[in-house]
Amino acid sequence: MDDKLKGFYDLYWRRRSIREFSGRPVEPEKIDRLLEALMRAQSAANRQPWHFVVLSGQEERAALDDVFTKEGFRKAPLLIVACADQSQAWTRRADKVNYAWVDATIAVTEMIGAATAEGLGSCWVAAIEPDLVREKLGIPGQIDIVAIIAIGYPEKELVVEDKARKPLAEIIHHGKW
């Protein structure tokens, strides 16, 4: 494998959920690049049915302190609330599945990869009360709260670690199930 490919795969092998942050602020230029990654993400029929609420100031972030069940998330210097607007999303004709959540998830996943490339840790936080988040941030009722992404410099360096994973034979089906 050449160095470019190795660097690409290394990025994803280093990525893991970070729940403890160093407290070091994330530089504005890095935040800008992460937001650019969100904006450039692919979406079904290029509908881009997403919104992201960015909380980077201490007071802004503190508004969500009581939303988190883990103390470490309260120390994350950057929080991004991922939202999906089903009224703006593409819907598959065959079964009427709306792709708003899929599209928001794709954007967040691409941003998480960018965060890892920047040396930042992140964690997708789904253990939240969406209505409480909606109320605290003034998010309209028709908008779905997908998750809060906690981002910052991890307490421990991001390194390649082997984590228990299902074997390929359990999850990959060639030709038929």
d(CA 55, CA 150): 10
**Which pLDDT does position 8 carry in this prediction?**
86
> At residue 93, does pLDDT exceed 80?
yes
- How much is the pTM? 0.94
Contacts of 11 (CB under 8 A, 6+ apart): 113, 116, 117
pLDDT band at 160 (very low <50, low <70, confident <90, very high): confident
8-42 per-position pLDDT tens digit: 888 888 888 999 999 899 999 999 999 999 999 99
Query: Which is nearest to 44 in space by CA: 110, 107, 95?
Result: 107
Domains of the chain: 19-156 (3.40.109.10)
Q: At what angle do helices 28-40 and 100-117 cross, to 10 degrees?
A: 140
- Tell me the one-letter amino acid at 148: I
**Which pLDDT does position 163 carry in this prediction?**
79
d(CA 11, CA 116): 6
- DSSP classification of residue 27: P
134-151 per-position pLDDT tens digit: 999 999 999 999 999 999
Select the more confidently predicted residue: 4 or 124: 124
